[in-house]
Amino acid sequence: MKIAYLVLAHKNPQLLRRVIRTLSSEDCTFFIHIDQKSKIEEFSGIEEGNVVFSERRVPVYWGEFSQVQATVLLIHQIMARPHKYDYIVLLQGADYPIRSREYIHRFLEENRGLEFMSIVKMPNEAAGKPISRINTLRFPSHKPVRRFALRVLAKLGLAQRDYRKYLRGLEPYSGSATWGLTADACRYILEFIERNQRVVEYFQNVFAPDESFFHTILGNSAFRPRVRRDLVYSDWSSSQNGHPAMISDRHVAFFEEREKVVLNDFYGPGELLFARKFSDDSLDLLRRIDDMIARKEGRRVSP
C-alpha cells in the first residue's frame, strides 16, 4: 500500500514535524504546500527523503478557492512523478493521526478501492451545507474593492446566482475539506478540471469551495457508489467562526475509551484515523495520543 500524504500548512511547524515522524515509512511520501504568506524558514529542517515541498506556492485564504488551487498543485505534482500511489490522503496542517502508520496502511489495504470523502447532496441543513454556500457570489481577497462592493450587494440580496445555469446538469455536493482518494479518482478530478473550465470558474466565487468543488466532481461520477465518510475526526459541536473545536483532554479521553473511533451521522458510518484540530501549543496532547496508539497496538508505552 503506497500512500501519498498531501498537507496544506501555514503554521505549526513543530506539529508538522511530529506528523511526518509518526506517519513516515518507506511506503509513503509527504507532499507539502506552505502558504505563500507564511515564512518558509519556519519549516526548515524538514528534509526527509520522503518529503517533497510544493514547487509553487500560492497565498491561501480561508474559505476561498486558493485552498483548492493549492490542493490541485499538489495532485499535479504527485501525478508527474514516476512513483505510483494507491491512495492520496489530504490533510491540513492541524491534523494528527490517532492510529499507527501500520494500522492506517492495513485499513486502506482492507478497503482498497473505496473513496473516503464525506459528502452530502446540497442543500443539507443538518450538515450545515445550505445552497447559499454556492449560490451567493463571492470575490476572493486579492480583489478587495469588488469583494467589499459584493458584501454590500449581498446584504441587499443582489449577489445571488443559480448554480443550475453554470454547472451543466451537475448536482451540487458538499462535505469536509479533507479526504483519502484513490489515484484513479484524483486522476479523474484533474481530467474533469481540464475539460470543464466553466465549472472551475464558477467555484472560484463560492464560499468554502474546498468543501464542495471536489465533492461535486466525484458526486456526479462513477466513483460516487464507492464513497465512504472521511477519515478525520473533528468536533463541530461548539464551532465558532466556522472552525472546529481545538482537541482537548476530553477528546483524547473519548479516543482512549474506544478501540476504534467510529461515527455515524449524516455522512454515514465510518472509522476515523486522524483528528483535527491541534497546534504547536497543544503538543503535550500528542504524547498522550502516541501512548494511546501504542497501547491499542499492543506495544510497550515509552516511559
Q: Which of 134, 207, 217, 136 is nearest to 179 (CA)?
A: 217
Q: Among the residues of the chain, which ranges form H helices?
A: 13-23, 66-79, 101-110, 132-135, 144-155, 183-195, 197-203, 213-219, 249-256, 283-296
Instruction: State the helix-helix crossing angle for 13-23 and 283-296, rounded to 10 degrees.
Output: 10
**Which pLDDT does position 49 carry in this prediction?**
81
Task: Give the per-residue pLDDT at 145.
Answer: 47
Q: Average pLDDT over the chain, rounded to whole? A: 91
The pLDDT tens digits for 47-75 are 778 999 998 999 999 999 999 999 999 99
- For the chain, how many structural domains are there in total? 2
> What are the distances in angstroms from CA 297 to CA 272, 286, 290?
16, 16, 11
Containing domain of residue 140, as a range? 132-165
Whether 252 and 178 map to the same domain: the answer is yes
**Residue-level pLDDT at 191:** 98
Q: Does 77 map to a domain?
A: yes
pLDDT at site 154? 60
Based on the fold, state whether residues 80 and 41 are members of the same structural domain.
Answer: yes
Same domain flag for 139 and 80: no
- Pair 158, 283 in one domain: no
**138 and 176 part of one domain:** no
Claim to verify: residue 144 and residue 221 sit in the same structural domain: no
Q: Report yes or no on 301 lying in a domain.
A: no
Judging by DSSP bridges, how do beta strands 274-276 and 95-97 pair with one another?
A: antiparallel
pLDDT tens, residue by residue, 175-208: 999 999 999 999 999 999 999 999 999 999 999 9
Domain boundary among 165, 190, 225: 165
Residues 74 and 217 in one domain: yes
**So what's the pLDDT on residue 147?**
53
Task: Tell me the per-residue pLDDT of 108-162, one tens digit each, with 9 for 90 and over.
Answer: 999 999 999 999 999 999 999 999 899 988 866 665 545 555 565 566 565 688 9
150 and 225 assigned to the same domain = no
Q: State the virtual CA torsion across 77, 78, 79, 84 in degrees, nearest 10.
A: 160
Please indicate, yes or no, if residue 175 is contained in any of the structural domains. Answer: yes
State pLDDT tens for residues 78-88.
999 988 999 99
- Please tell me whether residues 85 and 212 are part of one structural domain: yes
Lowest mean pLDDT among 45-49, 155-159, 224-228, 245-249: 155-159
pLDDT of residue 59: 95
Q: Work out the pLDDT band at 301, boundaries 50, 70, 90.
A: low
Residue 240 has pLDDT above 70, yes or no: no
Question: Has residue 303 been placed in a domain?
Answer: no
**What's the pLDDT at 44?**
87
Residues 195, 288, single domain; the answer is yes
CATH number at residue 186: 3.90.550
On whether residue 300 sits in a domain, the answer given is no
